[in-house]
């Protein structure tokens, strides 16, 4: 389900990645809401498929660059979920 090429913008459901990959590389806060956008939107807004953004940062960057997009999917991940998943 998760696309390793970067379609999964933050973390996969049930936190399949451990810290520090769940930390937004822009604001340095925990990504508590994982989300997915199209490859095209991610490339236009962030570019680097291997980095991490939280939803608010992605939205801000998209607005700053004038990129219209839709969150295709979003899911909550608490700190305890992200720590116990492997």
- The residues that touch Zn ion, with contacts defined as CB under 5 A, are 24, 26-27, 54, 57
Token pair in block for residue 35: 């989300």
76 vs 86, beta carbon nearer Zn ion = 76
Shortest Å, Cβ 45 to Zn ion: 12
DSSP the chain: ---TTTTB-S--TT--S-TTTTB-TTT--B--EEEE--HHHHHHHT--TTS---HHHHHHHHHHHT------EEEE--HHHHHH--
Q: How far is the CB of 76 from Zn ion (least distance, A)?
A: 16
Which of 11/24 has CB closer to Zn ion?
Answer: 24
* Minimum gap (Å) between residue 78 Cβ and Zn ion: 17
Of 7 and 26, which CB lies nearer to Zn ion in the complex structure? 26
């Amino acid at each position: 389900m998760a696309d390793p090429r970067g379609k999964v913008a933050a973390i996969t459901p049930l936190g399949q990645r451990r810290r520090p990959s769940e930390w937004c590389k822009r604001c340095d806060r925990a990504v508590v809401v994982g989300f997915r956008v199209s490859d095209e939107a991610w490339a236009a807004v962030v570019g680097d498929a291997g980095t991490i953004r939280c939803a608010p940062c992605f939205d801000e960057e998209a607005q700053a660059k004038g990129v219209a997009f839709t969150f295709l999917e979003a899911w909550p991940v608490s700190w305890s979920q992200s720590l116990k998943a492997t």
